[in-house]
């Protein structure tokens, strides 16, 4: 799969958050059944009164999808600590369930938020490393009282070598491959400019459809000659 581990982790945490919200929404809807015969006021009663005033045919309490959607709405803003306050417990049973939901959702949200922040930070690890190096450079130049023109030259050098440092990191990845894979990858990467050299282009045309081209490249063993 071409998807990165960072994006895969973000997708996994998002799915876990949806599952937690689904479970808690069902638990919040279940609280209505626990107090159905007691005659006590329930959180859904305020919706029923409003729907009766507006002449709504399908009441929330009697419509499964509307009840689930309203419960999911309450669960979502509880997990994210938004707390609009338009839905809340109306009896001791609902208060106990709401306390349980707040504890579970608070812990889950804190863990997931920390994991997501770590994943997002790792997605831009190269950029963060470069910025840290530039901050260290600026601090060093300030402590050493380097002249302004020297500071400009040093910053210009490191900014210009940013792409070269990226290529060096990619080179270390290629070096970790087997010799056969190294030859194939190097051939694919350098084929555009190699095809512009007449003698190499002739060799490529002659070796097209065979493994002789890759065999020749694999015999070099010195991948540092390739950019």
Look at residue 202 and tell me whether its pLDDT is greater than 80: no
Lowest-pLDDT range of 2-16, 36-50, 166-180, 185-199? 185-199
Q: How many CB atoms lie within 10 A of CB 24?
A: 24
In a domain, 205, yes or no: yes
The CA–CA distances, whole Å, from 36 to 12, 29, 92, 148, 184 equal 37, 11, 13, 77, 70
Q: Write the pLDDT tens digit of every residue in 15-30.
A: 999 999 999 999 999 9
Q: Check whether residue 104 and residue 26 sit in a common domain.
A: yes
Torsion of CA 171, 176, 181, 187, to 10 degrees: 10
Q: Write the pLDDT tens digit of every residue in 178-200.
A: 888 888 887 777 777 777 777 77
Q: Write the pLDDT tens digit of every residue in 68-85.
A: 999 999 999 888 888 787
What is the pLDDT confidence band of residue 224, given thresholds at 50, 70 and 90? very low
Q: Check whether residue 117 and residue 186 sit in a common domain.
A: no
Higher-scoring residue by pLDDT: 15, 62: 15
Show the domain range for 36.
5-123
Q: Check whether residue 11 and residue 116 sit in a common domain.
A: yes
Domain harbouring 92, CATH code: 1.10.287.70
Q: Choose one of 82, 106, 123: the last residue of a domain.
A: 123
In a domain, 216, yes or no: yes
Q: Check whether residue 100 and residue 17 sit in a common domain.
A: yes
- 32, 61 in Cβ contact below 8 A? yes
In a domain, 37, yes or no: yes
Look at residue 216 and tell me whether its pLDDT is greater than 60: no
Average pLDDT over residues 136-158: 90
Q: Check whether residue 101 and residue 190 sit in a common domain.
A: no
Q: Check whether residue 105 and residue 38 sit in a common domain.
A: yes
pLDDT at 24: 93
Number of independent structural domains in the chain: 2
């Amino acid at each position: 799969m071409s998807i990165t581990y960072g994006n895969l982790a973000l997708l996994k945490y998002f799915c876990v958050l949806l599952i937690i919200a689904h479970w808690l929404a069902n638990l919040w809807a279940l609280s209505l059944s626990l107090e159905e015969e007691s005659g006590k006021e329930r959180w859904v009663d305020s919706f029923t009164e409003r729907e009766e005033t507006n002449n709504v045919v399908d009441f929330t309490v009697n419509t499964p999808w509307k009840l689930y959607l309203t419960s999911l709405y309450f669960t979502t803003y509880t997990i994210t600590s938004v707390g609009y306050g338009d839905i809340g417990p109306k009896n001791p049973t609902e208060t106990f369930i709401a306390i349980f939901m707040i504890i579970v959702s608070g812990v889950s949200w804190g863990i997931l938020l920390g994991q997501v922040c770590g994943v997002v930070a790792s997605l831009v690890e190269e950029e963060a490393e470069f910025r840290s190096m530039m901050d260290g450079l600026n601090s060093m130049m300030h402590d050493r009282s380097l002249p302004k023109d020297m500071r400009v030259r040093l910053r210009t050098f490191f900014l210009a070598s940013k792409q070269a440092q990226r290529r060096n990191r990619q080179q270390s990845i290629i070096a970790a491959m087997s010799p056969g894979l190294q030859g194939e990858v190097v051939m694919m990467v350098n084929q555009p400019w190699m095809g512009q050299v007449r003698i190499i282009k002739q060799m490529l045309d002659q070796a097209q459809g065979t493994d002789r081209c890759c065999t020749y490249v694999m015999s070099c063993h010195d991948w540092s000659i390739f950019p």
